Structure 1
Amino acid sequence: MNARHQQIIQLVNMRGSVTVSELAQLTGVSEVTIRQDLNLLERDHFLRRVHGSALALDSDNVGMRMHTRYELKQALASHAAGLIESGETVFIEGGSSNALLARLLADRADITVVTVSHFIAHLLKDAACDVIVPGGLLQKSSQSMVGPLTRHCIQQIHFHKAFIGVDGWQAETGFTGRNMLRCDVVDAVLAKNAPTWALTDASKFGQIHPYPLSPVYQVKQVITDSSLRAETLRLLEEQEVAVTCVAQP
């Protein structure tokens, strides 16, 4: 995938729909080249083509979102990877930044990764690290395990550190998610009281979604990027959330 393909994916994901002619103008290539690009990207399940335009796929498509703001998310994942020490077991919940973290850990034979994400587990199928996938109900849209059995499995597994994805945060609501069952899994992780980080780019702050994370077990550490607004940083710190802002590439 070249830089133009990544630019196209990012534009389509941000806007939901972009015309071929507009993509040609924004990328500086011909409409013929854009149509060829869109054919390739649709074949690889990064977007959907309709007559004269490209459409974003379902927002739960992790593979697609990994290539949106790729360099930034890679920087976040690299910082997170540096926190994991030899001999540790680390829980990685899901989302595009966490998928990039898992990929960075793949060659580390000295750690164990626990994940409810079948997408992440597939990324690690040839990895040197050991991989544990709890049982439960496979939520096909997100490729993640959810439900009471998954919660029970998490309760029986020890891990030293955990990294979770979030969909939104506001001072009044705290961290929120789009999916109730996935939030329930995150709540089970937070209840373990292992050091846990929300690994997310700054675009999620200021958004709000239907399902708040547990009011009892709070996310106390965040790894995000340096575009986080100063006022948001102040509000997070007032709520005793430790924030690490990684410089944007």
Structure 2
Amino acid sequence: MLTTQRRAMIAARLDRDGQIIAKALADELGLSEDTIRRDLREMAAEGLLKRVHGGALPLAPPLPDFAARGAIASETKRKLGRRAAGLIKAGQVVFLDGGTTNAEIARALPRDLRATIVTHSPTIAAELERHDAEVILVGGRLYKHSMVTTGAAAIAAIEEIRVDVFFLGVTAVHPVHGLSTGDYEEAAIKRAIARQSAETYVLATPEKFGAASPHRILGVGDIAGLIVPADMAAEPLSPYRDAAATLIMT
């Protein structure tokens, strides 16, 4: 079988099954596992898939810029934001990660809620201008794609705060490879916040499931819950029903 034929088959199988297991595919095609692994390495280098131990996964689709993301699945994000806001209690210290879905949490918070909202996103801080909540904005280098601060200064500030609830933003959710995002520094910031938090929740729209972004943040079992749309298909959610994380449908 020619290299181009193998690669076309790998791409089609990845699209159909959502994963490639190198040994199983090699056995099926009567080829060496090294041949399949070499194909996967080359395809990963070209940005066609994500290599993982034993095989490959689809890449999470590249995100449009921050402004454009606000218009994607906006009603679904509003529902997720309202459900997440309902988990927040007066007196808590809450960390809101960046992103357009988490911005809906800020918009859904009652204006008279007495709580402390910490964020490293200037856009989310601005949403809380007219709220009674105390707002702490963590500084650092601005990662403009996600409109959040990153770097050593941000991590140093985060390490001085104890958080009751953290709402973590991710670009991909996978039952084995966990929660991930596209930027190395941003992933490090998210892990630092999670370490300081008693509970971590993720608001996830359907397109984020079953894929993997380049930089892992946490395992699914490391969070308290996934907040997902009530009308989401059952099959993508089935691997998470037995996980430590609670599924919250809204």
TM-score (norm 2): 0.69
- For structure 2, which runs of at least 5 residues remain unmatched after alignment? 1-61
Corresponding position: 1:157 with 2:161: yes
Q: Which residue in 2 is equivalent to 1:223? A: 227
Correspondence for 1:173: 177
Matches of 2:232 and 2:244 in 1, distance apart?
Answer: 16
Are the aligned partners of 1:112 and 1:132 in contact in 2 as well (CA < 8 Å)?
yes
**Contact 1:105/1:129 (CA < 8 Å) preserved in 2?**
no
Aligned counterparts of 1:234 and 1:215: Cα–Cα separation in 2: 16
Secondary structure class of the residue paired with 1:138: strand
Could you tell me how far 1:216 is from its partner in structure 2?
Answer: 11
User: What percentage of aligned pairs have identical amino acids?
Assistant: 29
Note the C-alpha offset of 1:117.
0.7
Task: Supply the distance in 1 between the matched residues of 2:223 and 2:215 (Cα, whole angstroms).
Answer: 15
User: Is the alpha carbon distance of 1:145 and 1:217 closer, same or farther for their aligned partners in structure 2, counting shifts above 3 Å?
Assistant: farther
Runs of 4+ in 1 over 4 A off after TM superposition: none
Q: Is the 8 A contact 1:80 1:101 kept in 2?
A: yes
Say if 2:79 is the partner of 1:102.
Answer: no
CA deviations on 1:44-63 (whole Å, 9 max, x unpaired) are xxxxxxxxxxxxx96241x4
3-state SS of paired residue (1:239): coil
Question: How much has 1:78 moved relative to structure 2?
Answer: 0.7
The question of whether the paired residues in 2 share the 8 Å contact of 1:219 and 1:241 is answered with: yes
* Secondary structure of 1:238 counterpart: coil
Q: How many residues align?
A: 189
Match of 2:64 in 1: 59
Structure 1 spans left out of the alignment, 5+ residues: 1-56
Cα drift, residue 163 of structure 1: 0.5
Preserved CA contact (<8 Å) 1:146 1:185? yes
Shifted more, 220-229 versus 183-192: the winner is: 220-229
How far did 1:234 drift? 2.1
Deviations 1:101-148 (A, max 9, x none): 112226134112100111111222333321101122111222211112
Aligned counterpart, 2:127? 123
Counterpart Cα distance in 1 of 2:216 and 2:171:
10
Deviation at 1:176, TM superposition (A): 1.1
Is the contact made by 1:97 and 1:199 (CA closer than 8 Å) also made in structure 2? Answer: yes
- Equivalent residue, structure 1, for 2:79: 75
- Give the residue type in structure 2 aligned to 1:127: H
Shift in Å, 1:90: 0.8
Q: Is the 8 A contact 2:221 2:244 kept in 1?
A: no
Instruction: Give TM-score, length-normalised by structure 1.
Output: 0.69
**Of the two, which has the highest radius of gyration?**
2
Structure 2 Cα separation of the partners of residues 189 and 109 of structure 1: 22
* 3-state SS, counterpart of residue 228 of structure 1: coil
Question: Over aligned residue pairs, what C-alpha RMSD do you find?
Answer: 2.2
